[in-house]
Structures are given as structure tokens and as C-alpha cells.
Structure 1
Amino acid sequence: MTESTVPPTDAETDVLIAGAGPVGLVLAIELARRGVAVRIVDTLPSPTTESRAIVVHSRSLDHVEMLGSLPALLEKSRVARGMAMHDGDTTVAEVSFEGIRAVHPFSAAIAQTDTESLLAERLQQLGVSVERSTALSGFAQDADGVDAELTGADGRTRRLRARYLVGTDGARSTVRHGMGQRLEGSFAGEDFLLGDVEGEHHYDDSQFHTFFSPGTGTGLLFPLLGERVRVFAQLEPGIDPDRPVTVEWLQQALDERGIRLRIHEAHWLTRVTLKHGQVPRYRDGRVFLAGDAAHIHSPAGGLGMNTGMQDATNLGWKLAQALRAGDTAGLLDSYHAERHPVAADVISFTTRLSAAGTLTNPVAQHARNVLMHLGLGIPAVAEKMVDRVEQQNVAYRRSPIVGGQGGVLKPGDYLHLADTVVAEALARHPGHLAILLPGRNSASPAPLPNWIEELAVSERDADALRRSAGLPHGGLVIVRPDGYVGHIDADPAAGLRDYARRLSAVGGEEAAFQHAIG
């Protein structure tokens, strides 16, 4: 960045977000609802009309509820309660989402344009608007902040000083490039035709559908509201990259993959090449990456946007806390420590799904179909598969900032309660929650420190939590602002101290941290 060509700083903010897709909008909401000064810029003059991501999975729905946007999202969604795998006209396997242990045991199929619209509306309610036709053209960071160059539609450049910068600017991320990072992984690429269309089909509207194909590529069908559906057709290698995308080509591709859908009208068509990879580091000093800027992978399973939205949920509360309590290295480093393994697992999972769907050997195809039919007929196997698709398997047990012992429920797990929805409590109070479980060895601190709020639970939930958390004689369960368990301890006072110490930097001032955290 050349300072001589840039006017003096015209404004300052706590966090600058580059990219106003679903990931950037979720992050901006998470920050704004915690009182953080945030600016969010996007190069597009208006919201995209391309609805690339169309599934919000169960774990992401928990987080959308914390934002206060779940009713609006579900109103515009087709609820999916299961998925089916097909080989031509044969249904190889079906699994239901409804048996999983989740607050929302389903997915929501909604056009990305609608998702962005309702998130932008929520952000505006918090007093923040997207600054459009504004590109991040360069940045440089120092020990105290980031100097960013912003270029408007008129070509004029101004400088903005921010405490932190987050790149949610997609697969061609300017922020990633400015950090000197590259996506690392498999770069052969997968070529897809995508379309939002209306048409006739006989498939169950309450399910997602995957179609295996003998060598021509996997097909996917996601029912949306009305007669509208999203379809993917994976293309074989070697097709002219300049071939025009037409309804006729998409119809031919669907027919070849055994998808019995007759297109009446196309709302949106495109062709994309997707690769598999992620960056080595999600954080470099005061600069962070999230979403497609940090990781890209196959659309199999519909996990891309969801993984990015959960990046934003994880990072948002940590940035807000660091701004209040001081830049504690351990807390902000935990973003990479927790989220990088999640994306690595998603990349591995979606790569295997794609490979399974494109077997060319008839014997291998038959074996795949038999194994899927038999395996997914076993409840434990089907539940494990659904947990991965719905991202209910995401946990941070190895995180450096969680502690305590636990039982079946471990520190780092997402907390589900029968009668108390944690997401509802975190929507009202976007900080830490303490669940105090009475018992003979669990004298509670009086009062609780001001960085944590007590969450009252029903007696049934308390009994279940004592059993699952390994606290038969009572104790403390700390719930982080993202709904995951931060600490479990039979001694509430000791647990609060230990958790605060973990979140603060080594040698940090615990008293000051406890005053500011939250």
C-alpha cells in the first residue's frame, strides 16, 4: 500500500469486514449486537441475484436463532427432514434428520438472495448498513490496527483505520492475497452446472436428493418453495469452458444423470468450477479470514455457506471480547485452532461424497449401492451420517480455551437441553451463561461475576445435565456465547476462575479480564 496516494484517515472503526455475503453479514450482526463499531463493505452495487448457496443446516439454524432471524428465515424456506440417494430410478438409501439430537432436527432450503436479504435487514435494525460499490484495494497492519484502502465506484480512494480486518470476500479473496496466503489442497477442480428452475418432478419435497451417475458426474436436487428447485449437475472433464450455459444443456445433463425433472422455467443458470482447499492460517495478527476466503470444497452436502456462517459465529464473540478485555492472544488464536479442523473435515467428507457418486466401474457402483443401503439402514450409521451433514458433529473438545472434565457431555460440545433452548437465551444475552446445578458439593459463588449471566433450567434439564456432565453432586456448566460448553466443574468458584484464566493471555490481569469479559 502506498501511503502517498491515499488521503488521511477519514474514519475509524473497531472491525472492518470485506465482503457482504451471508458470512460477512452474520459476522457484522454478531459484532453489532454486542455493541462493537463495525463497517462492512462490498464491491457489488447491489445484493447478488445469484443464489449459489441454498441450504441452512441444523447447527447453523441454532446460530441464526441467536441472531434473532430464525422466524424470518423459516418463513421463506422449504423445510427438509431427510435425504435420499438415487441411482437412476432406484432409491439406494434414505435417511431422516428427525432422529438426531438437535434443537432444530431439519434443514431449511432457502435462496441465498433471501438469506442475504433477511440478514441485511437484521443488521440494519442494529444500525449498520452495507457500504456498496466499495472495494478493499489494499491494507497494512501494525501492532495497534489495520490501515485499509477503500476504493469507491468513482475510483477515489480513502483510508479507513480499523482495530481488526476480516476477509469474508469469497474464493478470490483480496484479504487472503494481501495476507500472502494461498488455498492449499486439490486443484483439479470440479465443474458444475447450477440452476434455480421450476418444473415437474415426482421427488419428495421434504428431502434433499443425490443422484449417482455412471461416470458423467453426480447430480443434486434441492426442493425450494413452490415448484422451484435447485439442481446441480457435475460435468465430466474436458468440456469447452466457453460453452454457453443454456436451459437445453442443463436439461440434457439432468437426463443423463437420471434426474426425472422437466424444466418449465429457469430463474438463474451458471457454470462454476470448484476446488478443494483451505489456507494454512485463519489469523495473521489483526487480520482474519472466514468462509470461502479461508476454505473451498465440493457442494456435496450443501456445507459451504454453513461452514462459513459458523466461522463468523465463532469469531464474532471472540473479537468483541478482545475489544473489551484486551487482545488476548490465546482467545483470538483459538479461532484458527477451533475452525481450521472443522473445514478440513468438511473438505474430506465432501471429497469422499463426490468420489462415491462418480464411480465408473459397474462392480464398484453395485458395491457402493449395497453398502449404502445396508449401512444407512443401521440407525447408528445413519445418525452419524446425518450428524455430519447437519453439522451436529461439530465440537471443540481439543480447543485450548475449554476446560474441565465432563462426562458424556464434554467441554467443547454444543449444549442441547430438553426444556431450555440455549439459542433463545443467547439471543437475549449475547454473552456467557452459567448453569448452576445444586448439590451438596456445589456451593455457588455469590454473586456471579459481571461477565456471566445465570441461565435457569428446569428440574428435568438439571437432572439430565448432572448425568451427562458428570456432576452427580452438582456444579457449574459454562456456556460460551456461541452455544458451546466452555467449562465444566464441580466447584463453581474454581471453575469460573479457571475459565477466565484460560481466556486471558498467559500472565494477563485476571481481575481486569473478569471485569471486562462478556
Structure 2
Amino acid sequence: MDTPPLDGTALNGPLNGVPNDTEVLIVGAGPTGLTLACDLARHGVRALLVERAGTLFPGSRGKGLQPRTQEVFEDLGVLDRIHAGGSAYPLMMAWENGERLGTWDLIERGTPGPATPYADVWMIPQWRTQEILHARLLELGGRVAFGTALTGLEQHPDRVEAELTAADGGTRTVTAGYLVGADGGRGAVRRALGITMHGEEVDPRPALVADLRVEGLDRDNWHVWPKAPGGALLLCPMPGTAEFQLFAQLEDGAPDTSAEGVRALVAAGTHLPASAVTEVRWASDFRPRAAVAERFREGRVFLAGDAAHIHSPAGGQGLNTSVQDAYNLGWKLGRVLRAGAPESLLDSYQEERYPVAASVIDLSTGLHRAERDGSDDRRARRGKDTDQLDVGYRGGPLTAERRPGLDEEALHAGDRAPDSPYREADGTARRLFELYRGTHLTVLAVDRDLPALPAGVRGLRLDGGHAAEAYGPGLFVIRPDGYVGLATHDAAALPGYLAALGAR
């Protein structure tokens, strides 16, 4: 689980090489910050990503990538590596008194189709996801300044002044056009802004998560001891490693995260002896909590990921929602800084992502409490409700539905743009996701003439076939993050909408 080697483009220690100014300063090199940095690099935006720790996060905590996040990672050019480094979720195996009680499936399995190429959640340790994103960032010419903390910020009408402090105590003030706090629920950015989080304790019991090596268990199942003291204890084999992820809750008190404490916890909750735990690679404790920041933007500073919202781990929503925060914000910053879109486009980040965060918190909290209380319906809800393919922005500030009389189940502006196979004029087989991949706007004409488009906007006309079934007839503007912005029958509606996103 080594992180990528630090080279000339990945800074560490003193502030040598850290620029005095940047267009976007990102604080926190977790999945959120790395995704945003990759997306901005694709747009050609100068971004500096700083991380107070000396390396990438070493644990497996957020291990499930939902289908929608896999689509995001396909667009960013990392999905092949994500799939190579992970696996499908294994069946759950329950134990009692050292005896196997049988298996069941935690998730409702889906079937890939032409509109949804990824139907199931994919398991991969968080540290490996971050390694892959970090490697992609280096390929795109970006870098991370490790061992560099934000210790102060001051906003001005046209810039943000950020004080950075290195591990050796050296400081530097960096000027940025915008700053994004992706530094977690206890991060420095939200505290510096004075933005509070409102929420609740999901479960009063403390929890522990750890990566460890265990002898005496097969790696074909996710093992569960439902009657362990304090609540169920789980050991999940991490794909591509020799490790298991441990999750356990205690009745009370602070969990002992030392190696001996973890061994004792496993021995108390399973039929395995403490000696079966041969190595503890990483451990952390927490109390399940759900909270959301009162706002996601203050002037030129934005909050994303856990800095904006905190979830119960149930349902695997936290990391996925965080990645999609970055994906939503990245193209908007790119269009403002590179395409000449009005700065007011950035107001839509709060308006679009806040309702999503609130909805996801309700879902994950409900799943956690259903599990805690032994509800029988908890398994079926891990499928369509959690895959995030239905997350969208109907009624949002960038949504313009201009086709009257649509059924509620039909594709609307604000919805995720489905994938679809098609053939080019020469017969070459393609997918719409290939057409959408990148930082551009796309106009899809389905059973309609394709009008002339501004420079930098891609266009495609498709008649009949699967696209006609998935989209219906009309003209569709597809945003860089893969959502339908405008849906209309009237080509005259296109220029004004495209101009508002910087395409003229």
C-alpha cells in the first residue's frame, strides 16, 4: 500500500517550489481534492493542491465506488486502473460460535446495459483510489505539496490570501483566485470561515475501522459476527491485498486503536484468537455522525466533500458524494477561468450540491439505523437508492426543460445523460460517453437537425436507435459533468444557454 514516489512534481517538506500565486488553491489531498485537481488540470487551470500530512491517506475507509462515480472516473481516465485494483463485492458470511450460518448479498445486483455501463458498486481500498488519482494528476502536470498546512486565509474582492506552513515551520503567503476546502469535517478551511455544521449523532456507540492481516479466514466472503459485544463485527477482504478491513462498534468508551487493542477486539468479537491478527497496518476510531455545513461557499472560498457534509458509512455514500462535489465544481471553475463564463456560474455549486448532500445524509442515516435495529429491508435498499445514478438537478439554476408534456419517468433536463451505443458514418462503433468525455459542452440532436454550433462545442445527430429510446426526440445540451442542461425542440434556445456557459 505504498503511495506513489515523491518526485519533482510532488513536493514535500519545505516550501521550495510552491508558487506565490495560483488560480485555484485546493486544501486536502483526499479523493475530493485529487478529483478536483485532476479536473482543473484537464481544463488547463493552474491549481495548487496542498496536504498537511506527509503522504496520502493510508487506510481503506471509503472502499465502495458507486456506479455514478465509476462513470466520473471513466471521464477522468482512471477507470481501467480502478477496475484493475478492485473487485465486485463478495457475499456476506455470518458466524456464530465458530460456525458458519450461511451467506447473503448486501447489495441488489444490477445488470449493465447500453444506458448504464456500470451497474454495481465496486470495492477498492480508499488508499488505492487515491494513489490512482494522484498518479493521474502527475500525468496531467499537476502536483501535491505534502507536509503543507493552511494556517490562515484572508479574502479580498478579487483574490484569497492563504498562509501555508510547512512541516519545518516555514511559512509562505500564496495568492489564489479561488480556494477550495477539501480537508475534511474538522478541516482548517471551514473553521477559518466560521461556517458551522448542523447535524446529529447517528449512533451513540463508538466505532473502530482498521486494516489488518488475519490468519484463519477465507477471502471469498465478507465475514460478519452479528452478536459481537457492542454490535456486529465485520472483516472484509480488501481486493488486491493480503489485508482485511475491520469494522466494529463498542458498547461504550473510546476504542483502543493500538495493535494490541485491535487484536483484543477481534478476539472478543469472533472465534479467532488474538494471535490470528498478524499485523495491524492502520486503525482509526470515530462516532457515526451526520452533519452538513450551513453553506458551501463564502465569497471566493468553497467547501467540498467531508468539509461540507459528513455521513454514516452505511450505504457507501460519503466518498462518492464527495467525488461528485469536486466533479460539479471543477467544470464550473474551468468554464469561468478558461471559457469566459460569468462568475455567477459558480453560485450554482451551492444550489445544486446542497440538496444532494442533504438527501444522501437522510439515506445513509436511515440505512445505518435500519442495520442497527435489524430491519429486514436494509439489503434491498443497497441498489437503485445508493448507486447515485438518479442523483440530478431537476429544477436547478442551470436546468432548462423546454419540452412540454413529458412523463415523469422520461428523461428531463437536470438528469444524468445516459450512455448509448451508436455508429459513425464510416460504421465505427462508438458510445455517447466517449463523445462526452472531456471538458467541452456537447449538443446531441436526436431525430432533429443539428444546428451550427459555437467553437469548442461538440455536436452529434442521431436518428432512431437506442439514443432515441433513452433521450426522446429533441436537442440536448450535455454539461461537462454529464448532466442534461437544456432540453428543447427549438434550436433558437441553444445560443443563449450555451453563451451562459461561456460558449459564444
Task: Return the TM-score normalized by structure 1.
Answer: 0.81
Gaps of 5+ in 1: 1-8, 360-364, 377-381, 505-512
Alignment of 1:18-33 (within 5 A): 18-33=27-42
Distance 1:255 1:209, change over 3 A: closer
> Equivalent residue for 2:497?
499
In the aligned structure 1, how far is the partner of 2:361 from the partner of 2:234?
Answer: 18
What does residue 488 of structure 1 align with? 487
* Equivalent position to 1:269, from 273, 283, 294: 283
Q: Secondary structure at the match of 2:136?
A: helix
1:218-248 Cα distance to aligned partner (Å, 9 max, x none): 4445432255332311222x22456746332
Matched, 1:229 2:244: yes
Greater mean deviation of Cα atoms: 85-94 or 125-134: 85-94
The residue aligned with 1:12 is 21
Q: State the match for 2:128 in structure 1.
A: 114
Alignment partner of 2:72 out of 54, 59, 63: 63
Query: What per-residue deviation string (whole Å, max 9, x for no partner) do you get for residues 30-79 of structure 1?
Result: 00011111111111122232332222221111001111111111111122
Task: Return 400-409 or 26-35, whichever deviates more.
Answer: 400-409
Any residues of structure 2 matched to 1:249-398 within 5 Å, and which?
Answer: 249-252=264-267, 254-255=269-270, 263=277, 265-326=279-340, 328=342, 330-359=344-373, 365=374, 368-369=375-376, 371=377, 382=380, 385-398=382-395
Q: Which has the higher helix share?
A: 1
CA separation of 1:244/1:132 partners in 2, compared to 1, >3 Å: closer, same or farther? closer
CA distance in 2, matches of 1:412, 1:484: 6
Segment drifting more, 97-106 vs 172-181: 97-106
CA contact (8 A) 1:422 1:483 kept: no
1:215 and 1:396 map into 2 onto residues whose CA distance is 43
**Compared CA separation, residues 327 and 424, structure 1 to 2 (3 A):** closer
> Does residue 479 of structure 1 match 2:478?
yes
- Tell me by how many angstroms 1:115 deviates: 1.2
Amino acid at match of 1:112: Q
Whole-angstrom CA distance in 2 between matches of 1:414 and 1:71: 22
Q: Determine which of 191, 211, 236 is the counterpart of 1:196.
A: 211
Kept in 1, the 8 Å contact 2:181–2:304? The answer is: yes
The equivalent position to 2:466 in structure 1, one of 458, 461, 467, is: 461
1:435 aligns with 2:444: yes
Amino acid at match of 2:450: S
Matches of 1:110 and 1:150, distance apart in 2: 32
3-state SS in 2 of match to 1:332: helix
- 1:213–1:357 CA contact under 8 A, matched in 2: no
* Letter matched to residue 206 of structure 2: D
Q: Structure 2: which amino acid aligns with 1:351?
A: T
Q: What's the CA shift for 1:170?
A: 1.1
Q: CA 1:57–1:487 in 2, change beyond 3 Å: closer, same or farther?
A: same
List per-residue Cα deviations over 1:253-307 (Å, max 9, x = no partner).
6429x9xxx7554433332234210101111111001111111111112221111
Unaligned runs of 5+ in 2: 1-17, 422-429
1:514 aligns to what? 503
User: 1 CA distance for matches of 2:264 and 2:105?
Assistant: 28
Relative distance call for 1:146 and 1:94 in structure 2 (3 A) is closer
Distance 1:221 1:327, change over 3 A: farther
**1:312-359: CA deviations, max 9, x gaps?**
001000111111355735421211111111111221112112212222
Offset of residue 387 of structure 1: 1.7
Kept in 1, the 8 Å contact 2:149–2:166? The answer is yes
C-alpha separation between the residues in 1 aligned to 2:296 and 2:108? Answer: 34
In the other structure, the counterpart of 2:61 is 52
* Counterpart position of 2:46: 37
Structure 1 contact 185–277 (Cα < 8 Å) conserved: yes
- Change in 2 beyond 3 A, CA 1:418/1:110: same
TM-superposed CA distance for 1:167, in Å, is 0.4
* Deviation of 1:203 (Å): 7.6
Aligned residues: 462
**Structure 2 counterpart SS, 1:411:** coil
1:39 match: secondary structure: strand
- Alignment-mate amino acid for residue 395 of structure 1: G
Corresponding residue SS for 1:358: helix
8 A Cα contact 1:32 1:128, kept in partner? yes
Aligned pairs for 1:65-80 within 5 A: 65-80=74-89
- CA deviations 1:389-438 (Å, max 9, x no partner) are 222221111211111246500111112233154443333x3211111123
Q: Secondary structure at the match of 1:476?
A: strand
Could you say if the C-alpha distance between residues 266 and 422 of structure 1 is closer, same or farther in structure 2, counting changes exceeding 3 Å?
Answer: farther
1:103, 1:421 within 8 Å by CA — same for their partners in 2?
no
SS in 2 for 1:463: helix
Aligned match of 2:4: none
After TM superposition, the score normalised by the length of structure 2 is 0.83
Deviation at 1:455, TM superposition (A): 3.9
In the other structure, the counterpart of 2:8 is none
SS in 2 for 1:14: strand
Could you tell me whether the CA contact under 8 Å between 1:212 and 1:358 is conserved in 2? no
Distance 1:75 1:222, change over 3 A: same
Q: Percent identity?
A: 36
**RMSD in angstroms over aligned alpha carbons?**
3.0
Moved more, 152-161 or 92-101: 92-101
The CA distance in 2 between the partners of 1:172 and 1:494, in whole Å, is 48
Contact 1:330 1:401 survives alignment (8 Å): no
Residue 402 in 1 paired to residue 399 in 2? Answer: yes
CA distance in structure 1 between the aligned counterparts of 2:46 and 2:257, rounded to whole angstroms? 46
Q: Distance in 2 between matches of 1:232 and 1:242?
A: 13
Cross-structure match for 2:416: 414
Q: How does 1:137-216 map to 2 (within 5 A)?
A: 137-187=151-201, 191-199=206-214, 200-201=216-217, 204-205=220-221, 216=230
Task: Give the secondary structure class of the aligned counterpart of 1:197.
Answer: strand
Q: What does the per-residue CA deviation read over 1:151-183, in whole Å, with 9 as the maximum and x for residues that have no partner? A: 122212211111100000112111101111121
Amino acid at match of 1:337: E
Aligned match of 1:508: none
